[in-house]
């Protein structure tokens, strides 16, 4: 950590600051320039409150050198994390494709879609039971009943299932769920993250609409600090000024996250664009850029879907995407250790 | 709602769409142009799923004419909402000033600050017991114990108290709290909003970092749809590309929200800027632009605050802000009915 | 165009508006709803000033149905535009790779790089003579002398050259330049665009840092309205809140631009990320998503480059990128007519 | 400047770097930590290329300590700059109000508006002759003829005039113009800025839509580096995700710019919001926050304005704004020396 002092700092205050820092087992290297004096703080600075230091009268600015996350940091964990999910893995050699409807609507619907995406090569089934909707008047999901239908589809097809939790109070219903999804709006629901850190379940953590990559990694750190290392990062588009697509898919997040962290990274092109015909090109780009997998909305009848039909693929269109993605994969960017 | 059809829509699909719309009690007015045919939908369109319509093959675009919120809409509630909070009100003739520390740290601290802000003219006391922090390694608040200390300060000074809830499971501790705050990160925690809609307590709802004004009003609508009309809107800065301030305070939100809605609007200049010396100019601007109140961080010892000291005022600086704000208020913009 | 009237519009004003619209050869279809009356305007609305209509007392909102650009619009020009550039083309079956240094520094440098990128498979040579730099104290390019050196490299290698114009007064120096580049900061320098519309030269138009795709197409329209149809669109990253990369590369711009327009689209991963090791993964993604080409910075000695060394590849690294891109191309997304 | 080295930097490379820095008259202070070694560079670092340093293999990151602008920097020029403009000043005790139409349309129009805004208390007249318009099909201004009409209005009323230049080639027409405006889209048109730096005229420099405050100050520095110290900064809204207003007016820019720089700062609420009824509240806020002036669009017949009628005030509405602003001014925030 680097502390830049104002010109001519008051001596007594400077003395107090240095004494306090030393009491925290921090070694101080001082560089005196014409305009500023700089303190280089050496030691474990992760417990120093950067805002507190900035608030001091004699301080002009403070800059962090070390990343504020440890468990998620590739510097302390060189190898890629590979997470076992039932009969498959994510983060290793298998390219994971998590497919299914935005909302679970009926047994027939979820089972049909599950079978179709399995046939096309999906490795996991997704389906929403608890649905975060902007409007209180929109369909809120089948909730507990939806989870039961999802588990039926799991039984039928053998696909592991991924579904979203919206509140801690729902956690007891997620026993047989294979991967618990934390939605973009909950990426900084810290009470939820802490509790998920106490489960042993893989957590698919979606990047918030306006969250930086560092914030995403800090949220992963919340889960990992509780002892659960099974975190899957998911980029699903960020909010920008552009309105031609629902959000802006930030594909540079993939190589950057894989450089900063050892955790697997998947891409959700369906939510990012909000437009079904854009899912294919963006899925190909995601495969090429080195993502560990995709999350794609598939519905057997997108035009009558109860939510987000506009971005869902038909099973046939999904099979076409899978074929094209598979052709790209052998030529994709290889990140990892040597990034 | 307006549906813009693609050129030469397939006739049978168009017939199906029109029949379905009519079955929903929607009257259709058709305008046929050279390039596009436009359907004007008349009736209660609030239950139509705009994405479903957009997903149809024959549809180019759909545009909403009515706002998707009702309870929060000034069109259906012309007069300003005035909310009683213990011995004061918010949204009416009184300019509300909610002041206090970011975090409650000790009985001495919260009681000293409470007395100081009361003396300077604050109408309510704020103080955080449950603290949302980006890092799992940062101070997370005194939690239940903090709430007890806050209530002691309430008893001492008679100031009504405002404090943040982070998770539904904490709600039973908020019985004696006067105003429950929903933080920016929880603005779209819909399960929490629904439950707060079933309490009778005033809710201070902070705008999310990357939330539009319409999304803020939709979140207010979640609370109001449950029967709780006591919602206070709070603008606290949005995330932009600018890094000179922590966030960008959007003061145009005040007149715009007051035009769209009858709910009171307060401004939090402390979190928006993250810099204590900027609180005063931004507070003056907020008063001038017609806000119903301010939310300001005050700490008896900002340099040793356990969180966000960088943006806290000393009691003396707060008293100075109050004096300047009071001088501005008689000349402030008057919004309301006639906006 | 759709005009949404306020409730109970004043009759005389409405009569005036309708008479005026009819005098502009616009046919009006009226839909009367409970809350709003809607006017559907049919005819050539491209000359109506949307802001003027919005300013009327009786108007609540105006929404455009047709895109405001014509020459650049795929609806009026179904086939992909293919632009001849000396001995190559852009926008057709050839994947264009424009490579070279950020700044031209010396004859030796530009000639060495030109030969190296040609050997690796580049189809055009780029090199900056006039350099837009944020700081007046930074190197501003070799200017006229730089252009001469670039033309020497062209003669040596036979590669057509692409270089940036910063001001109209420089235009007379661009006679032997094959493609004139308009930088992101000049995307809305309308006087420059108009004048370039009067040349017959291909123009590479970079998207502004905070420009929407529609604005980019409107700037293309400026050039095309002057009679020059040879416009190449270039996405080079947009400004967002994220700071891990210099800008956020918006790859969804490729399929979206190719749907809206018939113009070729190239991607500049070097400027977008500002980080040399990210050029390769983003170039692969750009190839996969269906771009017509790439623009890549290559320097024979990146560490001593006079500008933007941080994002330049060595010739060896560039050759490696070319090889990987070529492996992806046969499997890339095919946009175009049938989008 | 601070250079953070990677772990275990290659010794020979480090030796080369240090030798090179010393050859640039930079003194180096080294702090060796567990994870990183930090070099504190002392001396005049304004000529070091930060990107070049970042590109070195052994370097992890480089952080600037000194601001990269000098002439515009308050650290080197403590007192507020006061600029004389004909019979008035800007930046001192007078609150400057620059009012007039977006476009000059006719002699009658500009003269009527000029007289009206003078009567209401404006200190300068604005009016656009060269108009930057997104669409090539929109009205582009009366150009040279418009300038002549503006000068007639100046003669009639004695008000100094402010008008926008769009291209260097127009400069010879600006002899009798009092203040030359550089529009937001030209904020980084560096050739234009350099040339304006060679004139002795006051320049009103508008912040780009997506420009940081530091970039705005760097553009001011371009003008000042040429010898012209008469730069007026203008905040006119930035582009964000919010669509309820045209742009987001960043009023925190006022106190921040006045802290960083000694140059005067004015606010343009008309362009920022794009909505005439919002001009008044935002003007009051701008006055309260300590701006040195306002720039407001006034049209004698907003509903028939050839451009931007939606945001223009009538002369009566403008007079009302002036009255309210004057009531706020005695209570406004005082920035300046003691910030």
Q: What is the pLDDT of residues C26-37, one digit of tens each?
A: 888 887 766 677
State the pLDDT at residue B339: 42
Q: Cβ separation of A328 and C238 shorter than 8 Å?
A: no
> How many interface pairs between A and C have CB atoms less than 8 angstroms apart?
133
Q: B63–C31: do the CB atoms touch at under 8 Å?
A: no
* Closest Cα in chain D to A7: D75
Give the pLDDT of residue D7.
78
Reading the block at residue C155, the tokens are 């003669």
Task: Work out the angle at residue B172's Cα, subtended by the Cα atoms of residues B225 and A192, and round it to the nearest 5 degrees.
Answer: 80
Which residues in D10-32 are b (16+ Cβ under 10 Å) and which e? Answer: eeeebeebeeebeeeebeebebe
Nearest CA in chain D to A38: D40
Task: Determine whether the interchain pair A252/C282 forms a contact, defined as Cβ–Cβ distance below 8 Å.
Answer: yes
pLDDT in tens, C280-310: 999 999 999 999 999 999 998 876 666 666 7
The whole-angstrom separation of Cα C117 and Cα C96 is 12
> By three-state DSSP, how is residue D233 classified?
strand
Question: Are A54 and B192 within 8 A, CB to CB?
Answer: no
Which residues in chain D have their CB less than 8 angstroms from residue A29's CB?
29-32, 38
> Cβ atoms within 10 A of the Cβ of C10, count?
11
What's the pTM?
0.92
Which backbone phi and psi does D106 adopt, to 5 degrees? -165, 160
Residues with Cβ within 8 Å of residue B329, at least 6 apart in sequence: B95, B287
Nearest to A55 among B69, B138, B302 (CB): B302
- What's the rounded Cα separation, in Å, for the pair D319 and D117? 8
- Residue C190, pLDDT above cutoff 80: yes
Whether residue A86 sits in one domain with residue A45: no
Picking from B60, B167, B276 by the largest number of A CB atoms within 10 A of its own CB, the best residue to mutate is B167
Q: Helices (DSSP H) in chain A: which residue ranges?
A: 11-23, 50-54, 107-120, 144-157, 190-196, 213-225, 253-260, 269-273, 279-289, 315-328
Distance CA A27, CA D35 (A): 13
Contacts of A21 (CB under 8 A, 6+ apart): A28, A39, A41
**D94 vs chain C: nearest CA distance in angstroms?**
32
DSSP letter (8 states) at residue B95: P
Among A26, A30, A40, pick the best mutation site for testing chain D contact (most D Cβ within 10 A).
Answer: A40
Domain check: are B45 and B163 in the same one? no
Q: What integer best gives the mean pLDDT of chain C?
A: 91
Alpha-carbon span D195 to D217, nearest angstrom: 17
Q: Is residue B336 part of a domain?
A: no
C308 within domain boundaries: yes
Alpha-carbon distance values, D49 to A263, C306, C308, D321 (Å) = 34, 8, 9, 48
Quick one: average pLDDT of C202-218? 97
Residues of C in contact with A284 (CB under 8 A): 288-289, 331-333
Q: Helix crossing, D279-289 with D253-260: angle to 10°?
A: 30
Chain D positions touching A32 (Cβ under 8 A) are 29, 42
Interface touch D251/B255, C-beta < 8 Å: no
Chain A residues close to C328, C-beta within 8 Å = 288, 328, 331
Question: What CATH number is given to the structural domain containing B278?
Answer: 3.20.20.70
What is the DSSP track for C258-307?
HHHBSS-EEE-HHHHH--GGGHHHHHHHHHHHT-SEEEEEB-SSGGG-SS
Chain D residues within 8 A of C102 when measuring between CB atoms: none
User: Residue B96 corresponds to which tokens in the numbers above?
Assistant: 């509300």
**Across D87-96, average pLDDT:** 95
Chain B contact set for D324 (CB, 8 A): 331, 333
* Dist CA A19 CA A12 (whole Å): 11
> Element (H or E) spanning D297, and its range?
strand D293-297
Which of residues D63, D89, D115 is at a domain's end? D63
Work out the percent of chain C whose per-residue pLDDT is above 70: 95
Amino acid B334: pLDDT: 87
pLDDT, position D309: 65
Residues of D in contact with A42 (CB under 8 A): 31-34
In a domain, B68, yes or no: no
How much is the pLDDT for B338?
A: 40
Mean pLDDT of B246-274: 96
Taking the CA atoms of C204, C207, C208 and C209 in sequence, report the sign of the dihedral they define.
Answer: negative
Which residue of chain D comes nearest to B239, CA vs CA? D240
Check residue D307 and give its pLDDT.
62
Searching chain C, which residue's CA lies closest to the CA of residue A334? C281
| C124 to chain A, closest Cα gap in Å | 24
Is residue A27 domain-shared with residue A49, that is, in the same domain? yes
pLDDT (0 to 100) of residue A339: 42
C339 within some domain: no
**Backbone dihedral angles phi then psi of residue D168, each to the nearest 5 degrees:** -50, -35
SS3 B287: helix
**Is the separation of the CB atoms in B294 and B287 below 8 Å?**
yes
Contacts of B260 in chain C (CB under 8 A): none
- Select the residue of C57, C185, C309 nearest D189 (Cβ to Cβ): C185
Residues D92 and D55 in one domain: no
Gap from D273 CA to chain C (nearest CA, Å):
13
Compute CA distances B323 → B101, B115, B328, C283, whole Å.
Answer: 20, 17, 9, 58
Q: With left for phi above 0 and alpha for psi between -120 and 50, is residue D98 left, alpha or beta?
A: beta
**CA-based nearest residue in chain D for residue A238:** D241
Flag if C248 and A248 touch (Cβ within 8 Å). Answer: yes
Considering the domain architecture, whether residues A18 and A141 belong to the same structural domain is answered as: no
Question: What does the pLDDT average to over D79-91?
Answer: 96
Contact yes or no for B169 and A168 at CB 8 A: yes
Whether C302 and C277 have beta carbons less than 8 Å apart is answered as no
Report the alpha-carbon angle D62-D63-D68, nearest 5.
120
Judge: C65–B66 Cβ closer than 8 Å, yes or no: no
Cβ pair B282:D251 closer than 8 A: yes
**A121, A322 Cβ separation under 8 angstroms:** yes
C169 → closest Cβ in D68, D168, D304: D168
DSSP state of D334: -
Please state, in angstroms and as integers, the Cα–Cα distance from residue C46 to each residue in B68, C24, C187, C194, following that order.
Answer: 30, 11, 22, 19
- Chains in contact with D, where contact requires at least 3 CB pairs less than 8 Å apart: A, B, C
Give the Cβ contact number of residue B197 at 10 Å: 21
In this complex, the residue of D244, D253, D255 whose CB is nearest that of residue B212 is D244
Taking CB atoms and an 8 Å cutoff, what residues of chain B touch C66? Answer: 35-36
Q: Judge if D196 and D287 occupy the same domain.
A: yes
Residues B141 and B30 in one domain: no
Q: Least CB-CB distance to C305: which of D52, D168, D210?
A: D52
As for the ipTM of the complex, it is 0.91
Which residue of D331, D332, D338, D339 to mutate against B (max B Cβ within 10 Å)?
D331
Average of per-residue pLDDT values in chain D: 91
Q: Is residue A206 one of the residues assigned to a domain?
A: yes
The answer on A197 and A93 residing in a single domain is yes
Question: Per the CB < 8 Å rule, is C252 touching A273?
Answer: yes
Name the pLDDT band for A46 (thresholds 50, 70, 90). confident
Helical axes B279-289 vs D279-289, angle rounded to 10°: 150
Q: Are strands A203-206 and A231-235 parallel, antiparallel or unpaired?
A: parallel
- D271-292 residue pLDDT tens: 999 999 999 999 999 999 999 9
Residues C124 and C176 in one domain: yes
| Residue D338 pLDDT grade (very low, low, confident, very high; cuts 50, 70, 90) | very low
Q: According to the model, what pLDDT value does residue A94 have?
A: 94
- 8 Å CB contact of B52 and A309: yes
Of B11, B34, B63, the residue that ends a domain is B63
d(C-alpha C3, C-alpha C27), whole Å: 13
Q: What pLDDT, on the 0 to 100 scale, is given for residue D34?
A: 63
Q: Which of B244, B281, B324 sits opposite D212 (nearest CB)?
A: B244
* Separation of alpha carbons A253 and A265, rounded Å: 9
Question: Are residues A48 and A118 both part of a single domain?
Answer: no
Measured between CA atoms, the residue of chain A closest to residue C286 is A285
> Residue C23 above 90 pLDDT?
no
Q: How many domains does the structure of chain D reveal?
A: 2
* Distance from the D239 Cα atom to the nearest Cα atom in chain B, whole angstroms: 8
User: Which of B304-313, B315-324, C150-159 bottoms out in mean pLDDT, i.e. has the lowest?
Assistant: B304-313
Percent residues over pLDDT 90 in chain B: 70
Can you give the pLDDT at residue C337? Answer: 43
The 10 Å Cβ neighbour count of residue B88 is 15
pLDDT at D241 (0 to 100): 95
Q: Kindly state the average pLDDT of the residues B112-128.
A: 97
Q: Are A196 and A170 in contact (CB under 8 A)?
A: no
Q: Are A122 and A153 in contact (CB under 8 A)?
A: no
CA distance D87 to chain A (A): 40
For an interface test with C, give the residue of D16, D17, D52, D274 to mutate (most C CBs within 10 A): D52
Across B39-53, B59-73, B163-177, B183-197, least confident range:
B39-53
Overall residue count recorded for chain A in this entry:
339
* Arithmetic mean of pLDDT, C247-252: 98
Residue B10: give its domain's CATH number.
3.30.70.1140
* Length reported for chain B: 339
Element (H, E) at D54: helix D50-54
| pLDDT tens track for B199-230 | 999 999 999 999 999 999 999 999 999 999 99
C138-181: pLDDT as tens digits: 888 999 999 999 999 999 999 999 999 999 999 999 999 999 99
Model confidence pLDDT, tens digit, residues D226-246? 999 999 999 999 999 999 999
The distance of D275 to chain B (nearest Cα, Å) reads: 10
Q: What is the pLDDT of residue D35?
A: 64
SS3 of residue D183 by DSSP: coil
Q: Is D85 helix (H, G, I), strand (E, B) or coil?
A: strand
**pLDDT of the residue at D308:** 63
Sign of CA dihedral D306, D311, D316, D319: negative
Check pLDDT > 70 for residue A33: no
C195-to-A162, C70, C223, C226, D76 alpha-carbon distances in Å: 56, 19, 8, 8, 42
- For D186, residues 6+ apart whose C-beta sits below 8 A from its C-beta are C189, D132, D165, D166, D192
Residues of D with CB under 8 A from a CB of A: 2, 4, 29-36, 38, 40, 42-43, 61, 63, 65-66, 75, 210, 239-241, 243
List the one residue out of A278, A205, A204, A268 whose CA is nearest residue A237.
A268
Mean pLDDT of A328-335: 92
Rounded to whole angstroms, the Cα distance separating B133 from B131 reads 6
Q: Model confidence at A19, in pLDDT bands (50, 70, 90)? A: confident
Contacts of C283 (CB under 8 A, 6+ apart): C267, C269, C294, C296, C321, C324, C325
In the 8-state DSSP scheme, what is residue C37? E
Alpha-carbon gap, residue A228 to D220, rounded angstroms: 52
B61–C42 C-beta distance less than 8 A = no
- Tell me the pLDDT tens digit for each residue of B181-203: 999 999 999 999 999 999 999 99
* Structural domain ending residue among the three candidates D15, D42, D63: D63
Question: What band does A34 get if pLDDT is binned at 50, 70 and 90?
Answer: low
Whether B80 and B31 share a structural domain: no
Residue A306: per-residue pLDDT: 62
Asked if residue D68 is part of any domain, the answer here is: no
Q: Shortest Cα distance from D310 to chain A (angstroms)?
A: 22
**How close, in Å, is residue A164 to chain D by CA atoms?**
26
Task: Tell me the pLDDT tens digit for each residue of A248-294.
Answer: 999 999 999 999 999 999 999 999 999 999 999 999 999 999 999 99
pLDDT tier, B86 (very low <50, low <70, confident <90, very high otherwise): very high
Note down the domain range covering A31: 2-63
pLDDT score at B337: 43
- Cβ atoms of B176 and B157 closer than 8 Å: no
CA-based nearest residue to A188, from B308, B134, B211: B134
Average pLDDT of the segment spanning A291-310: 82
User: Which residues in chain A have their CB less than 8 angstroms from residue B192's CB?
Assistant: 167
Q: Verify whether the Cβ–Cβ distance B238 to D243 is below 8 Å.
A: no
pLDDT given at position C47: 72
pLDDT surpasses 60 at D16 = yes
Chain A residues within an 8 Å CB radius of B309: 49, 51-52, 55
Q: Are residues A121 and A259 in the same domain?
A: yes
Residue D296 has pLDDT above 80, yes or no: yes
Helix, strand, or coil (residue C140): coil
Q: Mean pLDDT lowest for which of A60-64, B109-113, C270-274, D145-149?
A: A60-64
């Amino acid at each position: 950590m680097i502390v830049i002092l104002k010109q001519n700092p008051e001596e007594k205050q400077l003395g107090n600051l240095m004494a306090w820092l030393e009491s925290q087992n921090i070694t101080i290297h001082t560089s005196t320039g014409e305009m500023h004096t700089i303190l280089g703080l050496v030691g474990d600075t992760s417990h120093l409150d950067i805002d507190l230091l900035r608030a001091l009268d004699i301080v002009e600015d403070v800059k962090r050198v070390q990343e504020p996350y440890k468990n998620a940091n590739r510097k302390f964990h060189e190898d890629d994390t590979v997470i076992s999910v039932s009969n498959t893995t994510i983060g290793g050699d298998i390219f994971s494709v998590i497919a299914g409807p935005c909302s679970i609507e009926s047994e027939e619907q979820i089972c049909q879609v599950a079978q179709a995406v399995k046939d096309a090569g999906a490795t996991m089934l997704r389906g929403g039971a608890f649905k975060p909707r902007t409007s209180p008047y929109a369909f809120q999901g089948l909730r507990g009943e939806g989870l039961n239908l999802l588990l039926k589809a799991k039984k039928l097809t053998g696909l592991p299932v991924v579904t979203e939790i919206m509140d801690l109070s729902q956690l007891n219903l997620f026993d047989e769920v294979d991967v618990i999804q934390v939605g973009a709006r909950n990426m900084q629901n810290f009470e939820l993250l802490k509790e998920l850190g106490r489960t042993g379940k893989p957590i698919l953590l979606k990047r918030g609409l306006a969250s930086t990559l560092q914030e995403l990694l800090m949220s992963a750190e919340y889960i990992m600090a509780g002892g659960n290392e099974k975190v899957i990062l998911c980029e699903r588009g960020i909010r920008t000024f552009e309105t031609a697509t629902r959000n802006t898919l930030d594909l540079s997040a993939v190589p950057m996250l894989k450089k900063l962290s050892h955790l697997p990274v998947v891409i959700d092109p369906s939510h990012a664009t909000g437009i079904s015909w854009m899912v294919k090109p963006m899925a190909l780009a995601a495969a090429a850029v080195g993502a560990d997998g995709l999350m794609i909305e598939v519905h057997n009848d997108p035009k009558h879907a109860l939510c987000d039909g506009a971005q869902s693929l038909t099973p046939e269109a999904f099979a076409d995407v899978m074929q094209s993605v598979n052709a790209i994969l052998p030529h994709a960017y290889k990140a990892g250790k040597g990034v």
